Amino acid sequence: MAFTPWYKDMVVYHIWPRSFCDGNGDGIGDLYGVLYRLDYIKSLGADAIWFSPLYPSPNADWGYDISNYMDIHPDFGDLTVFKRVLKEAHERGMRVFMDLVVNHTSDEHPWFLESRKSRDNPYHDYYHWRPAKRGRGGRLLPPNNWTSVFDGEAWEYDSNLDEYYLHLFAKKQPDLNMDNPKVRDEVKRILRFWLDMGVDGFREDVITFIAKTPGLPSAYPRIPVANGLRHYSNLPAAHSYLREFKRDVLSQYDCFVVGESPMTDADTALRYVTEGPNQVLDEMIAFSHMEADCLFVDTIPRPFSLPKLKKALSEWQYKLAGRGWNALYIENHDHPRIISRYGSEKYRTESGKMLAAMYMLLQGTPFIYQGQEIGMTNMPLPELGMYKDVMTFNSARILGKLLPQKKVLSIIQKGTRENARSPMQWDDGPNAGFTTGRPWFFVNGNYHEVNVRTEDQDPNSLLNFYRRLIAFRKTTPVVLRGDYRELYPRDKNFYVYERRYFDQRLLVVCSFSPELQRFNAPEDVRLDKWQLVLTNYETCFNIGNGFTARPYELRVYLYGEAAL
């Protein structure tokens, strides 16, 4: 039997540390809080923890602007407490993954501070510096017409050098010049530092942006957001650099690497994750299934489309089958809460259970984001000035050119990624048990009902459903290894798929409707002969070879030897 890499069977718990748990009472989540909650994470059935950035940072992008890759931000603790978290996680059988952010650094990183001292500084070529152009009347012009993802133009002027530097994200996040072999050597040094410490792998942030078209040409026709994308997304050199990192460092360790790649389809992902000699990533984080209620980004809203969601999920299931491995998720630090998007706050528990099974029973490695397992929801703030995130304000700036302020606020309330960054709701006490101090950000007012302690004590809660679901997943071969086949792809109310593995079959039926809907099983499925193994309602009846689905009803049927 062929060896199965350990990452294919694991479940990963994703921590955004600033909002997870405050262990020292200063209002900011930290590693002391993580230590205190390790047993909770293990109780879910998680096999690994992925930390969003823990490194020192000025927090222009809440840690994704790094000023030191080989230390811990004082807000979170220090290397000593990190090593203790690592040791105690390992003792509980859980691996630990770090966020690797090497497309850009902070503008307060020593490399960048050196680079802007002079054009002949040894660090100047660590970044993309270009001479300023002059237009009519001596007006300053940027080197090309690219725009950033976060912050207007992609170029920032430095009057001391009379040059611009490239920043595809915020102004305080200058892009590294990965064409420079010295920069690639720095990345290898960072990788070795954490791997030698005992870290088990990395989630690599916007890793397919690390290569740029030589000469950095302007892009036409212009697009409103991220103009120039084709000159820095998924270029052949990106694969070459990742292959170098794997050859020189990663292949020497038993580690896991998952890459984030915005605006990448399954065919493109296969360049990176196809198993064999050219594989450079174990998995790729896709975005297309998070666009079922928006256009490209969460702050350009559109009506939710179940066929669009199903098409995206099925494309990755079909195209990676037998060739690569999927990363499965429905929430992370970059998206609003999923129940508020694809589910229903009215039917929070029912839709939360349905959405959980919908994605965790697909083929791939499931990632669970903090608070997802208790059904945390969006938290609309009444004023734009109450938000803190650079991406929120950039979205508001763009929308404000087109819409009245009241409409802008409404869109931000639903679409900002800050909905996922409110403090974790541990209990119904002050500040939801997150801190004994003053929280760094607002706590969702529904914490009296939605919290870990309350749900832990309720056997029918969403939290305990996640525990049962994960246990079922780990003990059921058809979930871990089975083929995938979507049924009824045009249906606007149900997402239905089947998994098969030898004589085991699994049927997953998910209703996305708040109304009663009739479901008829496929002709080759006799529901009275199959075992109902998971559902989100206490009593279930069949009517003929089907049933009338209640709001957001989930039913999972198993057939075969393990169902007996």
Residue found under tokens 């993309």: 128
d(CA 273, CA 325): 7
> How does residue 136 score in pLDDT terms, banded at 50, 70 and 90?
confident
Task: Check whether 356 has a pLDDT greater than 80.
Answer: yes
pLDDT at site 4: 77
Q: Which residues of 112-133 are buried (b: 16+ CB within 10 A; e: fewer)?
A: beebbeeeeeebbbbbbbeebe
Per-residue pLDDT reduced to its tens digit, 285-298: 999 999 999 998 99
| Cβ neighbours of residue 35 closer than 8 Å, sequence gap 6 or more | 23, 81, 84, 85, 88
Burial of residue 369 (CB within 10 Å: 0-12, 13-18, 19+) is: buried
CA angle 149–155–157, rounded 5-degree value: 145
Task: Specify which residues 559 forms β-bridges with.
Answer: 505
d(CA 160, CA 116): 8
Task: Check whether 426 has a pLDDT greater than 50.
Answer: yes
Q: Among this protein's residues, is 205 annotated catalytic? A: yes
Backbone angles phi, psi at 99, to 5 degrees: -85, 125
Identify the active-site residue in 107, 260, 298, 350: 260
- What's the topology of domain 110-166? Oligo-1,6-glucosidase; domain 2 (3.90.400)
Q: How far, in Å, are 208, 419, 551, 558 from residue 352 at the CA level?
A: 32, 16, 12, 21
* Structural domain boundaries in the chain: 110-166, 380-421, 482-563
Q: Please give the average per-residue pLDDT across 145-169, as a whole number.
A: 94
Do residues 552 and 514 make contact, with C-beta atoms less than 8 angstroms apart? Answer: yes
Element (H, E) at 43: helix 31-44
For CA atoms 71, 72, 77, 83, give the dihedral sign. negative
User: CA 279 from chain center: how many Å?
Assistant: 21
Q: Show the tokens assigned to 318.
A: 């079909």
Backbone angles phi, psi at 50, to 5 degrees: -110, 120
> What are the residue ranges of helices labelled H in 134-179?
none
With pLDDT > 90 as the criterion, what percentage of the chain qualifies? 94
Q: What is the DSSP string of 100-111?
A: E--SB--TTSHH
Task: Check whether 149 has a pLDDT greater than 80.
Answer: yes
Q: Which CATH superfamily is domain 482-563 in?
A: Golgi alpha-mannosidase II (2.60.40.1180)
Q: Show the tokens assigned to 45.
A: 């059935």
Per-residue pLDDT reduced to its tens digit, 72-104: 999 999 999 999 999 999 999 999 999 999 999
DSSP-derived 3-state class of residue 241? helix
User: How many Cβ atoms are within 10 Å of 253's Cβ, its own excluded?
Assistant: 15
Q: What is the DSSP letter of 161?
A: T
Q: What is the DSSP string of 110-136?
A: HHHHHHTT-TTSTTGGGB-EEEPEE-G
Q: How far, in Å, are 291, 378, 489, 491 from residue 309 at the CA level?
A: 7, 20, 10, 12
Q: Show the tokens assigned to 25.
A: 């009472």
Q: How far, in Å, are 20, 123, 386, 447 from residue 41 at the CA level?
A: 11, 42, 31, 19
> How does residue 216 score in pLDDT terms, banded at 50, 70 and 90?
very high
Q: Among this protein's residues, is 260 annotated catalytic? A: yes
- Residue 416's identity, in one-letter code, is T
Please, which contacts does 512-515 make with residues 24 or more away whose CB atoms are closer than 8 Å? 512/306, 512/342, 512/354, 512/552, 513/549, 513/551, 513/552, 514/344, 514/346, 514/347, 514/551, 514/552, 515/551
DSSP-derived 3-state class of residue 294? strand
Task: Check whether 18 has a pLDDT greater than 70.
Answer: yes
Task: Check whether 172 has a pLDDT greater than 60.
Answer: yes
Please, which contacts does 158-165 make with residues 24 or more away whose CB atoms are closer than 8 Å? 158/116, 160/116, 161/116, 161/118, 161/119, 161/129, 162/131, 162/132, 163/119, 163/129, 163/130, 163/131, 163/132, 164/129, 164/130, 164/131, 164/132, 165/115, 165/116, 165/127, 165/128, 165/129, 165/130
Task: Specify which residues 365 forms β-bridges with.
Answer: 327
Task: Check whether 240 has a pLDDT greater than 80.
Answer: yes
| Cβ neighbours of residue 515 closer than 8 Å, sequence gap 6 or more | 551
pLDDT at site 3: 61
Residue found under tokens 């279930």: 540
Residue found under tokens 């000035």: 385
d(CA 260, CA 289): 14
Q: Show the tokens assigned to 232.
A: 């820095």
Identify the active-site residue in 175, 205, 418, 553: 205
Q: Please give the average per-residue pLDDT across 224-231, as a whole number.
A: 90
Q: Please give the average per-residue pLDDT across 21-38, as a whole number.
A: 98
Mean per-residue pLDDT of the chain: 96
d(CA 328, CA 366): 5
d(CA 265, CA 209): 15
d(CA 390, CA 334): 12
Q: What is the DSSP string of 356-412?
A: HHHHHTSSSEEEEETTGGGT------SSGGG---HHHHHHHHHHHTTS-HHHHHHHH
pLDDT at site 564: 39
Q: Please give the average per-residue pLDDT across 169-188, as a whole number.
A: 98
- Residue 119's identity, in one-letter code, is R
d(CA 5, CA 275): 11
Q: How far, in Å, are 136, 287, 500, 534 from residue 354 at the CA level?
A: 60, 20, 20, 10
pLDDT at site 1: 39
Residue found under tokens 């020292």: 24
Prediction pTM value: 0.97
pLDDT at site 296: 85
d(CA 438, CA 419): 19
DSSP-derived 3-state class of residue 463? helix
